[in-house]
Amino acid sequence: MELRQTTFSFASILDNDFYKFTMQQGVVRLFPGAKARYKFINRGKHSFPVGFSEALRHAVNEMASLKLSPEEKKFLQITCPYLDPVYLDLLEGFRYNPEEVQIYQRGDQLEVKIEGFWYRTILWEVPLMSLICELYYKLSRTIRVNDEEVINITRSKIEAYHNLGVTVAEFGTRRRYGYNVHRLVLQALKQYGAGTFIGTSNVHLAMLYQTKPIGTHAHEWFMFHAARYGFKMANAIGLEHWVEVYRGDLGIALSDTYTSEVFFKQFDKMYSKLFDGVRHDSGDALLFGDKVISHYKRLGIDPRTKTIIFSDGLNYDKVARIESHFRDKIGISFGIGTNLTNDVGPEPMNIVIKMTDAHPQDGEWTEVVKLSDEQSKYTGSENMINLAKTILSIE
């Protein structure tokens, strides 16, 4: 198979998760001189075929031609009024710089590193992961179910969620089987998910299928704040800065960058009232939800006025168990990713790209870590993880 036949171009600069753009606006406004480093982590120990790095390099180079179209800019202006004109003008002039991405292959193992100004490099993670997945399946010559079956599988899932009485957003850009499958999934969700399907994290597909782009911030927002302000202040100042930028919009807080136990000690009454709710991304979902309910009750806040967005490796059985446990106790919604966009035959990839180091404008390069409620999702060196656990009194 020739290299040219195994590469492809992204359809749009907006073919990315919404929280990348919302965080980018925050970075532009608050930390324009900051720099960041990211690294590809092959959690699933996948073996990459010969020539994979060259194919990925070619695809990454092609991304330099992407730019925001007038129609896309208008969509963002109308749909996302909290994205200010200065930021949208910057995004209109933004171009990917492939030199920020280093790609190596040693045998069957892939290495990818990213480095540059944070406001620029923040956009690489999601499309790079999408490229890696799609190229992996193409170069490995995997066979998926046909288009009609993709639609039927998605229809059966969204109708089952409808029967549960829950709302579902699609969060599957990063580990999708491929762009065409992703479009088929959105087509089916839009067609058959009335009253249940509420939006997608993918901004390009939200525009294409006239639905809501969904997202707020990711772990890297708090990881950078730890490098800039220290582990003890990362959550509190990260939340404070989010409020400073969005003034009450985009009010779902991510809770597990340094364990949810640490987060809720700092998620005081002001933030608990101001934010609409929290997102669950690691650990036992039922224990987490019970903890959230107790937290709100302890502060005199009715949990039924708040929402938990569950987004950790969900499928129908997990959603049904969560819905049954929390029915009428607290608002719940679900962000479902890989189970929607990569359930077409071949095994989904288990890969991530995470920030490894941050360089505040007036600081120095500092290693960053993530301490999820699930130890298998920890990222960072053992020394820095142990230091963070010591400082934060995490056993």
The predicted pLDDT at position 1 comes to 33
Contact yes or no for 169/334 (Cβ under 8 A): yes
Three-class DSSP category at 358 = strand
pLDDT in tens, 40-74: 999 999 999 999 999 999 999 999 999 999 999 99
Contacts 24+ apart (CB under 8 A), 241-249: 241/26, 241/30, 242/26, 242/216, 242/217, 243/271, 243/274, 244/30, 245/25, 245/26, 245/29, 245/30, 246/22, 246/26, 246/82, 247/82, 248/274, 249/82
pLDDT in tens, 230-287: 999 999 999 999 999 999 999 999 999 999 999 999 999 999 999 999 999 999 999 9
Task: Mark residue 56 as left, alpha or beta (left: phi above 0; alpha: psi -120 to 50; beta: remaining).
Answer: alpha
Residue 5 has pLDDT above 90, yes or no: no
Cα-based distances in Å from 297 to 277, 286, 308, 330: 13, 17, 15, 11
Q: What is the pTM of this model?
A: 0.96
The predicted pLDDT at position 8 comes to 60
Residue 38 has pLDDT above 90, yes or no: yes
For each of the domains in the chain, give its residue range(s) and CATH number, in order of start.
Answer: 3-143+348-391 (3.20.140.10), 147-341 (3.20.140.10)
pLDDT in tens, 326-385: 999 999 999 999 999 999 999 999 999 999 999 999 889 999 999 999 998 999 999 999
The predicted pLDDT at position 10 comes to 78
pLDDT in tens, 164-210: 999 999 999 999 999 999 999 999 999 999 999 999 999 999 999 99
* Mean pLDDT confidence for 303-331: 98
Q: In what order do the strands lie in the sheet with 277-280?
A: 197-200, 168-170, 331-336, 307-310, 277-280, 252-254
The predicted pLDDT at position 9 comes to 61
Q: Give the sign of the dihedral formed by CA 370, CA 311, CA 331, CA 25.
A: positive
Task: Using pLDDT thresholds of 50, 70 and 90, give the confidence band for residue 321.
Answer: very high
* Mean pLDDT confidence for 103-116: 98
The predicted pLDDT at position 362 comes to 87
Task: Provide the b/e sequence for 92-101 (b: ≥16 CB within 10 Å).
Answer: eebebebebb
The predicted pLDDT at position 3 comes to 38
Residue 395 has pLDDT above 60, yes or no: yes
* Mean pLDDT confidence for 108-115: 98
Residue 2 has pLDDT above 50, yes or no: no
* Mean pLDDT confidence for 276-301: 98
